[in-house]
Structure formats: structure tokens, C-alpha cells
Copies of this chain bind each other. A is one copy, B any other.
Amino acid sequence: MATKPLNKLTAGEIVQAISTGTSTAEAVARACLDRIAVREPHVEAWQFLDPDLVLKQARALDASGKIGPLQGVPVGIKDIIDTCDMPTEYGTPIHKGHRPRIDAAVVALTRRAGGLIMGKTVTTEFANRHPGKTRHPQDPTRTPGGSSSGSAAAVGDHMVPLGMGTQTTGSTIRPAAFCGCVGYRPTWGDIRCHGVMEAAGSVDTVGLIARSVDDIALYRDVLLGVAPQPLAAKIIDAPHIGFCRTPFWDQCEPATQELLEDCGAKLAKAGATVSEVVLPQEFERIDDAHRWVSSFEFARNRAWEIDHHYEMISETLRNNRLKDGLACSFEKYRESRSFLARARRIMHDVFKDFDVLLVPSASGEAPVGLNATGNASHCLIWTSTHVPCMTLPLFTGPNGLPVGAQLIAARNNDRLLFEVARWVTSKYTT
């Protein structure tokens, strides 16, 4: 560990270093601040970052004499999640300088575990499509993805080991994949969203971004408010993997299709049972149902901003999500919502023969251009059906940039997902 810079350590390694006295929260924080000082002008991952506040927190953690499960681990928090000591602006000038009174439940639980809130990371406007300032860490002409743009870029660029995002369509998985991170969207409903801006409650979850599967498992337990249980030391044997082309397969770049097919073949060789899964045909309707459910809810959640500051809302948001949501009848909304409920039951049956599905995380590498955040379609089936998802940074695309492999498990099988993800990572990368 001595040769690895502190800002490149995983969360687990940081806790280990601090608990054994090899390092301190302050030293880790300083290493991350140093990295940010060099890289932030190029990446612009942070909406708010106050080095003095970071060091004050770090010294308090060192002085506390406690060793929490995230002791001294710096975390970037997406700026739609409330913090009591930092502004929270939801990616819009409407809320410039807003200071929430209290921490969101997930932030309070992070601090309870000894986590250090590094700052607020850039989000697209209201966690929708209109991008913020962040650029891809490896290529400033490319998007980092969104809406959790800053959290993914900051973790991918070794500014912090952990980032918190959210996902309503593909807002954690996609940017995590683009930035070469492990990204995780939990089973819907497991992690409380009190103090997290609601985009569309029927599908919203918090999302986590890290550089290792074990860090995700650790942080998830912290946010569930339970004592962390490390993943089993023994890696799962011969998982059953469903290779799934999904109705959006045609939207993948050929190189991505090839990488995924090769991956499936390699995992089969390594001992997995890999077989093709074709989703029931009605899943083609999910795109449409997700669109109406999420836009109907989103438009109502933004009632105050629409009525008081409509002129400060982007054209992108006005002409897409808000326009859809305001045009959608309650009957259409409810019918779409009922369809998604049925799709969840059907999805449950899809997993009868599989531990996980292997699917694309995104169409390919992060696209060039900073006016959009990439295609989220590859996530919406899983988001809509409330199942846990994880993207793994397994591949490199034609331009040398990261491409993710996404694994999906059945609802409530989050820990099985993690165990298979470790197996896949170890088998694919050896």
C-alpha cells in the first residue's frame, strides 16, 4: 500500500490504513484535495468544494478516536442531495446558494459511519438531461455522462474513492460506465430518499459509484443503516449468466456488441453457465411506459419551480420531460404505471434460471460533445423493473476509453449481484 498514492486507495483500504494508524483522515483528505487542485480545472466535477471545511471534518474525525465503517473515507455527494453544511443547488440557477437545514438521510448515515463529505458534485439540471459543466476526465471534449456527472468523473479521476448519485433512468450506471467506475443502482426502495430531490418517485433510487465492488457493498450497508458484512471471502463458483441483447441492442455500437459477446464467451470458458435470454416481447413497451410515468411525476414535483421561475428552466427540460409530463393524462400515467408493475412480476420470472443477466451499460464509449449526456436506454428496463444493477469497468473501446459491462440481478438479490460481479471481474481480467 505504501507505493499507492492515498487518493488512489479504495474505501476499504483507507479504513484499513486509518484503523491501523498507517494513515490519517487528514492525510487522505489532503491527497484528494491535491489531486482535485491539479485536475479540477480540466474536469470540473465539483459544484461546491471548500478545502478548509474538508480539513476541519478530517481533523475532527482523527480526533474522535472512533473507527467507523467508512472512517475518513472522502465521498462526493451529487448536488440534488441535501447537506446541512454545504449548499445544495439541484443543478439549476433557481436554487443558487440554497442551504438546506439538515442532511439527507443518506448523508447523515455516511457521516455516522465516519465518512467525510468532500463536497457537492455536479448534476445535470434537476437530475434530468440538461448538462452541467463537468467534462470526461480522459477527454475534455466528451461528456462524463449524466445526470450524476460529477460523482462519476470525480471517482473515475481519483479525486475521491466514493461518489453518491441517483438514478431515474440511467443516471448512475451510464456515467459510471463512461468514467471507468463501478456503478450500482440498488433494489428500488432499499435506501431511503428523504432529503434527496425527487425526480420521479416510482423509479428513483440513490446510486453509488466506486472503484471496487467491495466498496459498493460496504457503502450499501452503511446506507441501509446496518452493520457492514464483508462479502464472502470465497468467490462464487460457476454462476448462471443470462446473455441478454434487450430491445435496445441495436442502439449499441458494433464494438460494444462485440466486447459483450466476447465477454460472455470468456466467462463461459471460465466456468459460468452462459445462455441467451430473450426478454418477453411486451418489454418493448417499457420505453414508452417509463417515459410517461417519469415525466408525469417529474412535472408535478417541479410545480413550485414551474410557477415561480419558469424562465430559468432550460429549453431542454421545458421541451421534453416537462412538456411530456404536463401533456400526460392521469389515465395514461396510471395505465403506464400499472404496466410497469406487471413488468416487475414478469422480470421476477426471467431470473428463475439465472443469477444475473449480462447486458450493455451504455451504447459505447462516452460520446463527443458536452451538450448531451449519452443514451440512457440501456438502463431503463432495469430501472423501471426495480432490479439491482451494476456496471463493471471491464472493457476499453476503440478510442481507448472505458466501456462498461452491466450485470442485473433479481429484486432483493443485491448481494448475489456483488458476488457474481467479483467473480466476473476476476475471471475477465485475468
Contacts and interface: CB of A to CB of B under 8 A. Distances in A.
A385 B265 CA distance: 45
A193 to B, nearest CB: 7
Interface string A95-113: 1001001110101110110
Contact of A105 (B105, B225, B304, B329): B304
Interface string A273-310: 00000000000000000000000010111111101100
Contacts of A398: none
Contacts of A103: 303-304
A140 interface: no
A111 B189 contact: no
Contacts of A396: none
B224 A105 contact: no
B192 A111 contact: no
A197 B82 CA distance: 13
A105 B84 CA distance: 22
Interface residues of A, number: 41
A19 interface: no
Given A105-B304, A108-B307, A300-B109, A412 B192 contact: no
A107 B225 CA distance: 31
A301 B337 CA distance: 26
Contacts of A195: 304
A59 B209 CA distance: 51
Number of chain copies forming the complex: 2
Contacts of A419: none
A10 B109 CA distance: 45
Contacts of A105: 300-304
Given A101-B95, A304-B103, A307-B108, A329 B226 contact: yes
A412 B98 CA distance: 37
Contacts of A66: none
A257 interface: no
A108 B303 contact: yes
A95 B297 CA distance: 28
Contacts of A224: 300, 330
Contacts of A338: 412
A203 to B, nearest CB: 11
B192 A307 contact: no
B304 A225 contact: no
A107 B303 CA distance: 9
B189 A304 contact: no
Contacts of A305: 102
Given A107-B304, A189-B201, 19 more contacts: A95-B101, A102-B308, A103-B303, A105-B300, A105-B303, A105-B304, A108-B303, A109-B303, A112-B303, A189-B202, A189-B337, A190-B334, A192-B301, A193-B201, A194-B198, A194-B201, A194-B301, A224-B300, A225-B303
11 contacts: A102-B305, A105-B301, A108-B307, A111-B307, A193-B198, A194-B198, A194-B201, A194-B300, A225-B300, A226-B330, A334-B412
